[in-house]
Structure 1
Amino acid sequence: MSSDSNGDQNVPCSEEVKTKADEAKDAANKLFQARKYEAAIEKYSEAIVLNPSVAAYYANRSFAYIKTEAYGYAVADADSAVKIDPSYVKGYYRRAAANMALCKFKDALRDFRIVVKKAPGDKDARTRLSECEKIVRRIEFEKAIVVESTQKSLAETIDVTTITVDSSYDGPKFEDGKITKEFIEEMMEYFKNQKKIHRKYAIQVILAVRKIMLETPSLVDIKIPQDSKLTVCGDVHGQFYDFINIFNINGVPSETNMYLFNGDFVDRGSFSLEVILTLFAYKCLYPNSLYLTRGNHETDDMNKVYGFEGEVKAKYNDAMFELFSATFSTLPLAHLINQKILVVHGGLFSRDDVTLDDIRNIERFNKKQLDQGSLMCELLWSDPQSLPGRGPSKRGVGIQFGPDVTETFLKRNNLDLLIRSHEVKENGYVIDHNGKCITVFSAPNYCDTIGNKGAIINITPDLKLSYKTFEAVPHPNIRPMAYASQFGGLFTQ
């Protein structure tokens, strides 16, 4: 249920109806505490329908929407809360949190200032304000010092040969300057023990992948050989121990055990560096058997908020994050399996005439391609909906597309199926749109709170699909978003 169905907020109601509304709100609060956020949203909505003039109902539902990553709806509910009661501090706080999640830092800053002005004794709000101010200042500074496009980036100028490896380093090393299967296996064990590989090897892995990706089209064609299978994995979000459990369940990557990881490798989980270096190393070892799609979290703005930037800088340095940023912008946007199954991170488009050639021709290295309304933005951000047609995004970015939109797109492009990720699902996957749109999500117990299963899809050369689901496995006692500065707790309080 979207937050635009709020009714008339000024309609008076009886004491009996007010009591029923409060009962619905209390039930919603209990569901929220039990982390049953979708059910809580339904109950908050019930309270709002009964009594649409209570700011707290909207603010509470806004927080539940934040929990389900429906940030667009969360902003709308916070708007309603402060419209009903301009003095209601929590409404501004929720709107600030949702706008931070959307990387709308100036909008968030405006609301944090209001919160601090209305509640000067709130130390938490002051901390959030200070952090938000730092981000806004840094973005303005970065804009001011943008170098001319003719000047080469660090990724193009760094000289790895000048970096020496100390004799005390006991981790995995390249053999004759090459990434081997043994190197990757040793690296994964090293990561499991919470150690980091030498920065020289990390840089070499990143640069090697970037070189491959610069020569890769925006839409990659995949042909599954007769003696092989392809496994499509959804978001893994820095949950390294769950990520390597996929290999325990389904086998490690090889020339015949092919993988396609469908975006959102990093952020939220606090072992994102380990995930992405493992994926990049396997991509170097098996360039024609392991594939990587860019997700909406392989972007600078998201990495600032959700932890990856902080993690890389904590474990290595600023320059290392710059290299990752330069490499993320080279990742392809879609994969076409045996000419019949399209795999994208988010979803479809705001218009019906988009062809596969349009996707192939996206100039993905241009950051303006990420702007709202662009094909690239919609590929990374859109979500399916059950109703026909299109609707505004619950996230505040991209669109929502119905079964008729999927059907039209598939017919136009002579395709059988759309596979996408981008959304947590209770059982790890969901089949929508009359079997034509499948969502797969591979981070079980997402953020250590949701309790969902993870899933993967095995695809045979004759395009038969089978699903494997799995539970979360234990990991070291480091909370999700541990490197997300002060905003790590913004979406949990």
Structure 2
Amino acid sequence: MTDSAWQGWSQTFLDLGHLMGPLKGEVRYPDRITLIRGNHESRQITQVYGFYDECLRKYGSVTVWRYCTEIFDYLSLSAIIDGKIFCVHGGLSPSIQTLDQIRTIDRKQEVPHDGPMCDLLWSDPEDTTGWGVSPRGAGYLFGSDVVAQFNAANDIDMICRAHQLVMEGYKWHFNETVLTVWSAPNYCYRCGNVAAILELDEHLQKDFIIFEAAPQETRGIPSKKPVADYFL
């Protein structure tokens, strides 16, 4: 990593990988690594997909789980790269028209069941116009016209997000104004997808690093987890 390099993580890192690696990176390089909160970085979701049970099993109490979930409350909800690329885990919100409105959100809380903070972590792009009801039960579906209006109002070129499994690692939407990047290869040890990392140079030129999961014989396989359908 060079002095000028910056890394942003918008992928949900809990339940899709190791938690301590990204956290240690941001502590060690706070000016070069930014973690963005995802929908899995919440108390409710961690009790559904195994993190709570894992902490209880390994440490005999919920203390470690409680400390980790308190850290989640301090993670950024979004990031902006050179004023032109808006990074967020999920997507847009009908309650948010400007980046300044995001800055006013009190992020130091559990993820609400609705509202602008929830929408940033749960929403998805959809080939439609306007806003739609999300099948996830949280957030919204948003169309190309919503993206065009948001990007123009904030003078940005594109939105970079995660939140949805992409078999090829990344996927463009709406004439390359929205990009989904998925960085967990072979999701749940069964989906067979590759993963991607978006690399930007000093001129914001884009390059994608595509990688596969490590061979099974080189790493331990944890007990099988249920597939989270809302990633598919």
The alignment's TM-score, normalised by the length of structure 1, stands at: 0.44
The 3 A distance-change label for structure 1 pair 463 and 276 is same
Q: Percent identity?
A: 34
Matched, 1:371 2:113: yes
307-316 vs 390-399, which moves further: 307-316
- Show the counterpart of 1:402: 143
Q: Which amino acid aligns with 1:356?
A: L
Unaligned 5+ runs, structure 2: none
Q: How does 1:4-403 map to 2 (within 5 A)?
A: 253=1, 255-267=3-15, 269=16, 272=17, 275-316=18-59, 317-351=61-95, 354-367=97-110, 370-372=112-114, 374-403=115-144
Q: Quick check: 1:443–1:454 contact (8 Å CA) kept in 2?
A: yes
Q: Does 1:437 align with 2:157?
A: no
Per-residue deviation, 1:265: 0.6
> What is the distance in 1 between the residues matched to 2:142 and 2:210?
26
Q: Do the aligned residues in 2 keep the contact of 1:254 with 1:286 (CA within 8 Å)?
A: no
Amino acid at match of 1:282: G
Letter in 2 for 1:460: D
Instruction: Give the deviation of 1:396 after TM superposition.
Output: 1.4
Contact persistence 2:159–2:177 (CA under 8 A): yes
| 1:226-280 per-position Cα deviation (integer Å, ceiling 9, x unaligned) | xxxxxxxxxxxxxxxxxxxxxxxxxxx554443111141112x5xx5xx211111
- In the TM superposition, what is the alpha-carbon distance from 1:394 to its structure 2 partner? 2.0
Q: Which has the larger radius of gyration?
A: 1
**Alignment equivalent of 1:455, drawn from 172, 177, 196:** 196
- Please state which structure has a larger fraction of its residues in strand: 2
> Which residue matches 1:203?
none
1:370 alignment partner, SS class: coil
> 1:408: how far off?
0.4
User: What is the aligned residue count?
Assistant: 225
SS of equivalent to 2:39: coil
Which structure carries more relative contact order (alpha carbon 8 Å, separation 6+)? Answer: 2
Q: TM-score, normalised by structure 2?
A: 0.91
Kindly indicate whether the alpha-carbon contact (under 8 Å) linking 1:255 and 1:288 is maintained by their aligned counterparts in 2. Answer: no
Residue in structure 2 matched with residue 413 of structure 1 by the alignment:
154
Q: Which runs of 5+ in 1 are unaligned?
A: 1-252, 482-487
Aligned CA distance change for structure 1 residues 466 and 302 (closer, same or farther; 3 Å) = same
SS of 1:439 mapped into structure 2: strand
CA distance change for structure 1 residues 279 and 254 in 2, over 3 Å: closer, same or farther?
farther
Contact 2:188-2:227 at 8 Å conserved across structures = no
Query: What secondary structure does 1:435 align onto?
Result: coil
